[in-house]
Amino acid sequence: AQPLLVVRDLQAYYRTSHAGVRRGIRAVDGVSFTVRRGEIYGLAGESSSGKTTLIKSIAGAIKPPLEIVGGSMEFAFLSGYGGLHRAARAELERIRWRHLSYIMQGSMNVLNPVRRVRSSFVDFAYPHIGGSLKQFEQLVVAHLARVKLDPSVLTAFPHELSGGMRQRAALALATICRPGFIIADEPTTALDVVVQKEVLGMIRGIQRETGSSVLFVTHDMGVHAHITDRLAIMYAGRLVEEAATAEIFRNPLHPYTKNLISSLPRIGEDAPRAGLAGAPPNLADPPSGCRFHPRCPLASEICCREVPVMREASSGHRVACFAVNGGDGA
Ligand code: ATP
């Protein structure tokens, strides 16, 4: 399939100063991947691995202290930009909702909290759809029905809705203009399991119908197993592995991914399995070489010294690990 988004060697740092000393938190540090047309591409990794920073950078939602310090991004629906953060405000307004929708963590950010739900639809989607307001409202009501919402939500304020209803309203708003690219950050994490399954089914249904691509971010591997086509695993600001989701679960190669998968709870087991020893690194001063080496059971001398690059281990399965790929560094 054709690429929709190509990200190359992206670096995004938080520039902070402490007691007069300037520091950079290297939250995204040399990330490359491609999102294909019509796929759900998943991004996994523990808290603080840089997932949100990565998708904020892609969505152009950059504000200080976050800075893009290197790399490039190319979108199929844009020409001539090195990423949305470089686009002018008017251009971003043209693109947002119509070509790219970003469902941030906590749907209150998508729906305007101080306005009734109808106003958010009119403000964000109507300019792209046009026609008479009456026709637009009919379209909204029909689209809400697809996510099993009653038209009465339009006159409610977001805080008057349950979490699940709010998330479905946000999903309806994010998809009504049929954007080619939907970015969703933990869209179901706050929901109970039944509602979560329902919302995931809706995302999959809308994605199939519109043929859009989805970049789906969550730390929850169970959710990835349920919805994503391909999956990238992030650790301490870098991707360590990428493959078809089923392949990652069947044949994880990176020691970090192996641990993520073997520590998933199994049916019939009461206690969760042991997680990884040690803590994720401080991204202001990350370990040399492979950032995972201090916690890695397979670490050897080269891992402390050189940065492993992502290489294909088998067709479509990339991994950044000297123990898997042999000893050639970046
Ligand atoms: P989570 O699932 O908890 O949201 P994440 O994988 O999305 O985690 P990020 O939120 O991208 O991770 O954070 C990556 C790193 O950047 C963390 O070390 C975090 O402390 C740091 N960071 C995030 N926001 C800021 C900020 N505004 N200023 C400084 N550092 C930040």
Q: ipTM of this model?
A: 0.97
* Beta-bridge partners for 318: 242, 312
d(CA 229, CA 225): 9
Buried b vs exposed e over 242-278: b needs ≥16 C-beta within 10 Å? bbbbebbbeebbbbbbebbbeeeeeeeeeeeeeebee
- Residues lower than pLDDT 70 in the chain: 80-81, 106-109, 267-274, 327-330
From ligand 1's centre to the CA of 8, what distance in Å? Answer: 21
From ligand 1's centre to the CA of 309, what distance in Å? Answer: 23
And the tokens for 305? 């010294």
> Residue 125: what are its φ and ψ, rounded to 5°?
-100, -35
Q: What is the pLDDT of residue 199?
A: 86
Q: What is the pLDDT of residue 66?
A: 95
Site to substitute for ligand 1 among 22, 29, 52, most atoms within 8 A of C-beta: 52
* Segment 249-260, tens digit of pLDDT: 999 999 999 999
From ligand 1's centre to the CA of 269, what distance in Å? Answer: 32
Q: What is the pLDDT of residue 271?
A: 65
From ligand 1's centre to the CA of 53, what distance in Å? Answer: 6
Tell which phi-psi region holds residue 232, choosing left (phi > 0), alpha (psi between -120 and 50) or beta.
beta
Q: What is the pLDDT of residue 265?
A: 74
Buried b vs exposed e over 88-112: b needs ≥16 C-beta within 10 Å? eeeeeeebbbbbbbbbbbbbeebbe
Site to substitute for ligand 1 among 18, 25, 31, most atoms within 8 A of C-beta: 25
d(CA 147, CA 187): 14
Neighbours of 123 (CB within 10 A): 13
Taking the model in full, what pTM does it have? 0.93
DSSP 272: P
Q: Which residues line ligand 1 (CB under 6 A)?
A: 14, 16, 25, 27, 45, 47-53, 65, 219, 283
Q: What is the pLDDT of residue 270?
A: 67
Q: DSSP string of 186-202?
A: STTTTS-HHHHHHHHHH
**Is the Cβ–Cβ distance between 213 and 180 less than 8 Å?**
yes
Q: How many residues are given for the chain? A: 330
Site to substitute for ligand 1 among 48, 220, 224, most atoms within 8 A of C-beta: 48
